[in-house]
Amino acid sequence: MALLRAKEFEPRVHTTGSSTSLRLAQDDNRKSLDCLPCCAQDDNRRRSCEERNTSLQCRRPMEVATRNPTRGRVMQRVLTCKLILSALFICFLASCGGSSSNGPGTLQFAMTPTAPTLAVNSSITISAQPTPTLPKYYGSTAWSVVGESGGECTQVQPNPECPNGTLAWNLVPTGYQVLQVTYYAPATPGTYQVQVQGEITDSSNPDKIDYQGTGTVTVTVTAQ
């Protein structure tokens, strides 16, 4: 600091024509001294210093050093995390990568009786109560005896060609579904199953299934 001040007060030599005059640049030195503390002053004084002595640029001390160099990187990471979370949330709402929300719901059947027992070559009435209720024209049911193929063992009386038994039911009006059948037991004792499959289609799109499900009842056939 002492060397700086000594240099600042170093006399300056001015030459005019053939004569040389030595003069102390007091005004210039005063300006320089005034500018030394201007960096610690307010903005108005700093600008005043710069206007008075353009050769000496006063700068705010530690102006650059006081800036946080990591703040920009932190803000960038925060923004990136927000974008990732937003994308995941949108993906979740759209059900990407998971099960489709447009799949059919479950159609449940309450079977009555739940576990009937009857003798060989006899019959019993079996009913099914669906939940939700099957709507007119947009619901359907299909009854069968488990283990029997085709329709040869439905809507028929006891048939020797149907070893697991047969089914029969009354016709229903158009648009309604069969919810009650008669099961005819075979001549051989054993355990058999009667099954009903149902579905509800969309009223505005017949190709779209809103609900589907299956109900099963186990029948025990005993010897007479």
Query: Which residue(s) pair with 199 in the sheet?
Result: 140, 212
**pTM > 0.75: yes or no:** no
List the chain domain ranges.
2-52, 105-222
Give the per-residue pLDDT at 161.
87
What are the pLDDT tens digits along the chain (224 aa)?
Answer: 444 444 444 444 444 444 444 444 445 445 444 444 444 455 665 566 555 554 444 444 444 444 555 666 777 778 888 888 877 777 655 544 443 456 899 999 999 999 999 999 999 999 999 999 999 999 999 999 999 876 789 988 888 889 999 999 999 999 999 999 999 999 999 999 999 999 999 999 989 999 999 999 999 999 97
Nearest alpha-carbon partner for 57 in 31, 23, 75, 78: 31
Give the per-residue pLDDT at 42.
56
Give the per-residue pLDDT at 56.
46
Give the per-residue pLDDT at 92.
58
Query: Which residue(s) pair with 128 in the sheet?
Result: 111
Give the per-residue pLDDT at 31.
46
Residues in the chain: 224
3-state SS class at 112: strand
Tokens found for residue 121 = 């070559």
- CATH number of 105-222, picked from 3.60.15.10, 3.40.50.720, 2.60.40.10, 3.40.50.360: 2.60.40.10
- How far apart (Å, rounded) are the C-alpha atoms in residues 157 and 122? 11
Give the per-residue pLDDT at 222.
97
Give the per-residue pLDDT at 49.
59
- How far apart (Å, rounded) are the C-alpha atoms in residues 96 and 117? 49
Give the helix/strand (H/E) hosting 115: none
Between the CA of residue 203 and those of 106, 135, 224, what are the distances in Å? 17, 10, 49
